[in-house]
Amino acid sequence: MSGNGWLRPKKSRQKLRKRGLDNPGDLTTISSRSSIKNGPGVSVDKDLPPLPPVAPLQAHRLKYKEAHSRIDTQRGENRDYTALIHALGLEDPFDDDESWPRRERDEEGERPPGEPVVASLPSHLWTQIAGYLNPKDAVCLALASRTLYARLGKAPFEALRRPENASHKLALLLTLDRYLPRHLLCFPCGKYHLRSQPGCEKLQPSDALVRNPVFVCPNARNMLRRAPRHRIAHGWSLPFSLVQLATRAARFGPHYGVDVDALARRWKGKSGDSEDGWSHSTRFLIHDGRLLMRVVSQCFAPPNLSPSGQRLLLFSRDDYFPYFSVCAHWRDGELTQVCKCALTHVPEELPRGPQSIEAKFKNSLLMGPRRPTAATAPTLCGFCQPMRRCPKCPTEYLIEIKLSEVRNHHHRGGVEFRHALVVTRWSDLGDGSAPSTSLEWAACNGDQAGAGYDSFSRLGKRAISGIFEAKISSDNTGIPGRRIMSMNPGNVKGGDDWY
The mean pLDDT value for 49-66 works out to 67
| C-beta separation of 332 from 494 below 8 A | yes
Residues 288 and 427 in one domain: yes
Residues 160 and 282 in one domain: no
Report how far apart, in Å, the C-alpha atoms of 453 and of each of 44, 174, 287, 442, 456 are: 102, 24, 20, 9, 9
- Residue 430 domain-assigned (yes or no): yes
Considering only 41-45, 201-205, 426-430, which range has the smallest mean pLDDT? Answer: 41-45
Enclosing domain of residue 156: 115-169
Which pLDDT score, from 0 to 100, does residue 393 have? 94
Coil, helix or strand at residue 191: strand
Which pLDDT score, from 0 to 100, does residue 409 have? 54
- Residue 38 domain-assigned (yes or no): no
The mean pLDDT value for 27-49 works out to 47
Total count of domains within the chain: 2
Who's near 111: CB < 8 A, 6+ residues apart?
A: 102, 104, 105
Residues 336 and 461 in one domain: yes
- Residue 87 domain-assigned (yes or no): no
Residues 131 and 276 in one domain: no
Residues 161 and 276 in one domain: no
Which pLDDT score, from 0 to 100, does residue 74 have? 67
Residues 321 and 468 in one domain: yes
Coil, helix or strand at residue 169: helix
Cα–Cα nearest to 499, from 288, 243, 307, 353: 307
Cα–Cα nearest to 21, from 34, 2, 8, 3: 34
What are the strands, taking DSSP E only, across 334-442?
387-389, 395-407, 415-428
Who's near 378: CB < 8 A, 6+ residues apart?
A: 345, 346, 347, 372, 401, 419
* Strands 265-271 and 236-239, sheet pairing: unpaired
- Residue 251 domain-assigned (yes or no): no
Residues 285 and 389 in one domain: yes
Residues 269 and 394 in one domain: yes
Q: Average pLDDT, whole number, for the chain?
A: 79
Of the residues 128, 148, 169, the one at which a domain ends: 169
- Residue 4 domain-assigned (yes or no): no
- Residue 292 domain-assigned (yes or no): yes
Is pLDDT at 16 greater than 90 in this prediction? no
- Residue 360 domain-assigned (yes or no): no
Which pLDDT score, from 0 to 100, does residue 371 have? 41
Q: Which residues, listed in sequence order, are joined to residue 12 by a DSSP beta bridge? A: none
For 77-126, write each residue's pLDDT tens digit: 666 666 666 666 555 544 554 444 444 444 445 667 778 888 888 889 99
**What gap in Å lies between CA 110 and CA 107, rounded to an integer?**
8
Who's near 141: CB < 8 A, 6+ residues apart?
A: 129, 130, 133, 148, 152, 156
Residues 164 and 279 in one domain: no
Which pLDDT score, from 0 to 100, does residue 278 have? 92
For 436-456, write each residue's pLDDT tens digit: 889 999 999 999 888 889 999
For 271-293, write each residue's pLDDT tens digit: 766 678 899 999 999 999 999 99
Assign 379 a pLDDT band (cuts: 50, 70, 90).
confident
Q: Is the pTM of this model over 0.95?
A: no
The mean pLDDT value for 476-482 works out to 61
Which pLDDT score, from 0 to 100, does residue 86 have? 63
Q: Which residues, listed in sequence order, are joined to residue 275 by a DSSP beta bridge? A: 270
- Residue 178 domain-assigned (yes or no): no
Of the residues 125, 147, 169, the one at which a domain ends: 169
**131-135, long-range: CB within 8 Å, 24+ apart, which pairs?**
134/168, 135/159, 135/160, 135/162, 135/165, 135/168, 135/169
Is pLDDT at 163 greater than 70 in this prediction? yes
Residues 422 and 301 in one domain: yes
Decide which of 89 and 332 is more confident.
Answer: 332
